[in-house]
Chain A
Amino acid sequence: MDVRFSREGNSLVVMMEGEIDHHTASRVRERIDNKFLMEPVKNLILDLSRVTFMDSAGIGLILGRMNRVSLIGGKMIIRRPKPEIQRILRMSRIEELIELDA
């Protein structure tokens, strides 16, 4: 799992690449949180277009980041998940909580 960061106005964009499971999630979580704290941004965009696998550890990762973003009144957006990733997002009903940018 590789993450790259960029800025879009008031948002931090995290381009995630590879597979999200418990092993990889615990490694990228801290990097995302640190970057989000350092940048003068309010919102977080997780770009999942290059994520090829995700299990419930990904759900935990997304919900954990959403809680942090909402603490400062920001918004979280999930961008372009592949169909197989959309399936687990739907199942977890995360889409009811987080804006999906297909």
Chain B
Amino acid sequence: MQPINKMRTEFLSKSANESFARVVAASFAAQADPSIEVLADIRTAVSEAVTNAIIHGYGEEEGMVVLSCVLYPDLIEITVEDFGKGIEDVEKAKTPLFTTRPDLERSGMGFTVMETFMDSLEIESRVGQGTRIRMTKELKSR
């Protein structure tokens, strides 16, 4: 499948960029004229992925987060990448309600939200090197 459009942006792992990232991804997806529900799902999933990169990827450190989107005729592929700590046990991290940061009142629902709101989710992570989350969502025109 030939991409229609691509974008890539990077930003510092500051929590103020969570809203920046989800607005950028949703604006990019909006070109395909998807339903409001689909755009809301994309916003939520990107917010979760970027928050994970900021809190768990970098924690107290600062680093860059890369958001890239590839638009196909009826699908969007979204990748969120950090170069931080990495996840030791991806399967455990995906378990609903599991969190390594109860101190921050994290609900442990991040990956569950991404899985539920998107059509596919792949997590690649290497300890000490970082994490890459790749998600896709079908874009049915309204």
Contacts and interface: CB of A to CB of B under 8 A. Distances in A.
Query: Are the chains A and B members of one assembly?
Result: yes
Nearest to B40: A84
B105 A61 contact: yes
B107 A60 contact: yes
Q: Contact residue range for chain A?
A: 20 to 34
Interface string A16-55: 0001011101100100000000000000000000000101
A46 to B, nearest CB: 14
Interface stretch (B47-55, B58-66, B84-92, B133-141): B47-55
A contacts with B: majority SS: helix
A10 interface: no
A98 interface: no
A55 to B, nearest CB: 4
A43 B55 CA distance: 31
Contact of B105 (A19, A64, A87, A88): A64
Contacts of A29: 105
B105 A63 contact: yes
A97 interface: no
B32 to A, nearest CB: 19
A64 B44 CA distance: 20
Contact of A55 (B16, B37, B51, B54): B51
Interface in A56-102: 56-57, 59-61, 63-64, 84, 87-88, 91-92
A22 B55 contact: yes
B136 to A, nearest CB: 19
Contact of B113 (A63, A64, A88): A88
Nearest to A20: B47
A63 B99 CA distance: 14
B59 to A, nearest CB: 13
Contacts of B57: none
The 7 A-B pairs of least Cβ separation, nearest first, read A23-B15, A56-B109, A60-B105, A60-B107, A59-B107, A64-B105, A55-B47
B113 A91 contact: yes
Contacts of A55: 44, 47-48, 51, 113
